[in-house]
Structure 1
Amino acid sequence: MSENLDDNYARAYNTRVGFGARPALILIDFAHAYFDPDCSLYAGVDDALASALRVREAAHAAGIPVILTEVRYQQNGIDGGRFFEKATPLKAFVKGAPTAEFAKGLVPRDDEFVITKQYPSAFFGTSLSSTLTAAGIDSVILTGLTTSGCVRATCIDAVSYGFRTAVVAEACGDRHPGPHEANLFDMNAKYADVVSETETLTFLGAKLAA
């Protein structure tokens, strides 16, 4: 087709839903594995972590709940099922592996909720949805790794569970720009508002001022 991609999608998908009144921030799988050049999951995503940490500080200042996710498997990977079988680099997340720990600069705070998961979505097989609902949360702001994997899966489940969903573009990363940009584009079209760090910080600043 000769039609411009943005013009083509705008005819069908061109809606913004906004941040919501009571958001929570989720930092998805910022594990050391993605920052270790010797690990097969290395993605060189330092800028994404730096952006997520800035958003995290703004969220705390505004009194917005902050949730971190981590991936952990038993040594034999049996709790990872077919996902562990298919995606062999997931061995980086077995219990005790240094690559499974949070990335340098990201230390969970006492007032942050940590979700341990075995599958791509932060919602699948966890208490996340019920925790957010019980807290009166109506929306989520997503950051994390990787854009084409666990961020996307969490995004789709978030909207499926009825949460308005925003994805902070600069605070997400992937091992290659192609999957990163393609998935941001598709999430923005169908499931979420893909927003900038600046837009997110402005929103959180307004929550603080209120």
Structure 2
Amino acid sequence: MPRRALIVIDVQNEYVEGNLLIEYPDVNVSLANIGRAMDAAQEHGVPVVVVQNFAPESAPVFARGSAMAQLHETVASRPRAHYVEKSLPSAFAGTDLAEWLTANDIDTIVIAGYMTHNCDDSTVKHAVHAGLSVEFLADATGAVPYENRAGKASAEEIHRVFTVVMQSRFAAVLSTDEWLAALESGEPPARDNIYASNQRARAGSAASR
């Protein structure tokens, strides 16, 4: 059995009612699934690490001391084994998370929280490079849309592409229901690789011509 820890990243009011609203999956769906994952972790002896991001008091989002920077009630009301405060995207950067995981013999982290393409993705990559296995709860995470000089993408597009890429190399991507079933059964989640993911896409393209 993997020695798991559930890492709940930046589930803060800013994403629910502030200036950086999660659009996909629906934030109420992801919040409910985050709560379910935390409850299941507690039941199965999986330690929960809660991560909270802060920016300077003058920042437009996550300003230290503001109501929007506070943890959402879904997370604040539930027990946790460890707390991490950060100011960079990865939950490992400038924190004691790596040391805490090592001290608790954790070899697999499970990611829930926000955002899929920023702090979640940064934490996933950091973990893989450190030799940890990763599981990513796709319906307990979420994205926002972007538009800048490089182009424009909806929250759904961003979330979908990032989860496809994660599954190709960096994480086992699951729904919360699938993860709960894996906790019960002990069956390892399906993982993939870059080559197989690419070959399936090429075969699908050839078949559609």
**TM-score past 0.5 threshold:** yes
**CA distance in structure 2 between the partners assigned to 1:42 and 1:74 by the alignment:** 20
**Is 1:67 matched up with 2:49?**
yes
**CA distance in structure 1 between the partners assigned to 2:15 and 2:6 by the alignment:** 21
- What SS does the aligned partner of 1:99 have? helix
Specify the code of the residue in structure 2 equivalent to 1:177.
E
**CA distance in structure 2 between the partners assigned to 1:108 and 1:159 by the alignment:** 30
Contact kept, 8 Å, 1:108 with 1:114, in 2: the verdict is no
**CA distance in structure 1 between the partners assigned to 2:185 and 2:76 by the alignment:** 26
* Deviations 1:144-184, CA, capped at 9 Å, x for gaps: 11111111011001111111101011111112101111100
* 108 and 128 in structure 1: CA distance in 2 versus 1, 3 angstrom threshold: farther
**CA distance in structure 2 between the partners assigned to 1:192 and 1:114 by the alignment:** 23
Alignment root-mean-square deviation, CA: 1.6
Deviation at 1:65, TM superposition (A): 0.5
Q: Residue 50 of structure 1 is aligned with which of 32, 36, 44?
A: 32
Deviation at 1:46, TM superposition (A): 1.7
Deviation at 1:190, TM superposition (A): 1.9
Deviation at 1:112, TM superposition (A): 2.6
**Paired position in structure 2 for 1:178:** 157
**Paired position in structure 2 for 1:120:** 89
Specify the code of the residue in structure 1 equivalent to 2:157.
G
* Counterpart mapping for 1:41-190 below 5 A: 41-44=20-23, 45-76=27-58, 91-107=60-76, 109=78, 111-175=80-144, 176-190=155-169
Structure 1 residue ranges, 4+ long, deviating more than 3 angstroms after superposition: 108-111
Pick 1 or 2: higher relative contact order, CA cutoff 8 A, min separation 6: 1
Deviation at 1:110, TM superposition (A): 5.1
* Deviations 1:82-107, CA, capped at 9 Å, x for gaps: xxxxxxxx632121111101113221
Task: Provide structure 2 residue ranges, at least 5 long, that are not aligned to the other structure.
Answer: 145-154, 187-209
**Paired position in structure 1 for 2:181:** 202
Specify the code of the residue in structure 1 equivalent to 2:139.
E
Identity of aligned residues (%): 30
Deviation at 1:118, TM superposition (A): 0.3
Specify the code of the residue in structure 1 equivalent to 2:133.
R
Deviation at 1:54, TM superposition (A): 0.4
- What SS does the aligned partner of 1:91 have? coil
Contact kept, 8 Å, 1:138 with 1:164, in 2: the verdict is yes
Deviation at 1:109, TM superposition (A): 4.5
